[in-house]
């Protein structure tokens, strides 16, 4: 009995000290010491300091037929299973119960900058995971160019064509 009381008292003293250890004062990153003047803006790194692994974002290449062909090839491999061939978001994966991605033909995505699509491919968005390890940066830009071509093709009107091309289409459509 005496041994149980001694064990209980020892455990009580040990656990009593844990609460004080968890609530001790501590310094936070970029916190100044008492009496010290802050040398930099609160929470900001010094000027002209760049993280070692930071790289500037790549510039989009000029749109060419070769870039569009590469974009279509990469789109068919990586994007089509969810977004479908037209970009409506009704791919085979969606038909099997996965979340429905947005259509590229909504006003929000038609008005989005190209960098938005590049960033979504790179970092993922919502249920879509990052493709940074699967798709090279130049291929990401090619996919973005192809998405823009999809958007233009699905929302094109006959009145948007020059008169000579409009006449050629009308002649081809006649039986």
Using one digit for the tens of pLDDT, what is the confidence trace for 67-84? 999 999 999 999 999 999
Assign residue 109 the CATH number of its domain.
1.10.760.10
**What integer pLDDT is reported at residue 30 of this predicted model?**
62
- Which one-letter DSSP state was computed for residue 64? -
Structural domain that includes position 129: 65-168
Query: For residue 13, is it within any domain?
Result: no
Query: For residue 137, is it within any domain?
Result: yes
Query: For residue 39, is it within any domain?
Result: no
Q: What whole-number distance in Å separates Cα of residue 111 and Cα of residue 144? A: 13
Query: For residue 140, is it within any domain?
Result: yes
Query: For residue 109, is it within any domain?
Result: yes
Q: Give a three-class secondary structure readout of 102-142.
A: CCCCCHHHHCCCHHHHHHHHHHCECCECCCCCCCCHHHHHH
Query: For residue 113, is it within any domain?
Result: yes
pTM (2 d.p.):
0.64
pLDDT in tens, 134-144: 999 999 999 99
DSSP labels, 135-162:
S-HHHHHHHHHHHHHHHHHHS--GGGS-
pLDDT in tens, 74-131: 999 999 999 999 999 999 999 999 989 999 999 999 999 999 999 999 999 988 999 9
Q: Is the dihedral of CA 80, 85, 71, 61 positive or negative?
A: negative
Query: For residue 14, is it within any domain?
Result: no
Encode burial over 11-44: b for 16+ CB neighbours within 10 A, e otherwise: eeeeeeeeeeeeeeeeeeeeeeeeeeeeeeeeee
Query: For residue 21, is it within any domain?
Result: no
What's the number of domains the chain is made of? 1
């Amino acid at each position: 009995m005496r041994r149980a009381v001694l064990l209980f008292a020892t455990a009580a003293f040990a656990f009593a000290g844990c609460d004080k250890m968890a609530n001790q004062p501590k310094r936070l990153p970029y916190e100044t010491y008492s009496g010290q003047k802050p040398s930099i803006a609160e929470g900001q790194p010094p000027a002209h300091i760049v993280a070692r692994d930071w790289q500037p974002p790549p510039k989009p290449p000029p749109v060419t037929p070769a870039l569009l062909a590469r974009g279509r090839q990469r789109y068919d491999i990586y994007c089509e299973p969810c977004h479908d061939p037209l970009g409506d978001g009704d791919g085979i994966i969606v038909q099997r119960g996965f979340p429905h991605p947005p259509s590229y033909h909504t006003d929000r995505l038609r008005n989005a900058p190209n960098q938005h699509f590049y960033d979504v491919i790179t970092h993922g968005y919502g249920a879509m995971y990052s493709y940074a390890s699967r798709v090279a940066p130049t291929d990401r830009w090619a996919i973005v160019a192809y998405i823009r071509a999809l958007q233009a093709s699905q929302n094109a009107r006959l009145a948007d064509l020059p008169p000579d091309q409009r006449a050629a289409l009308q002649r081809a459509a006649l039986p």
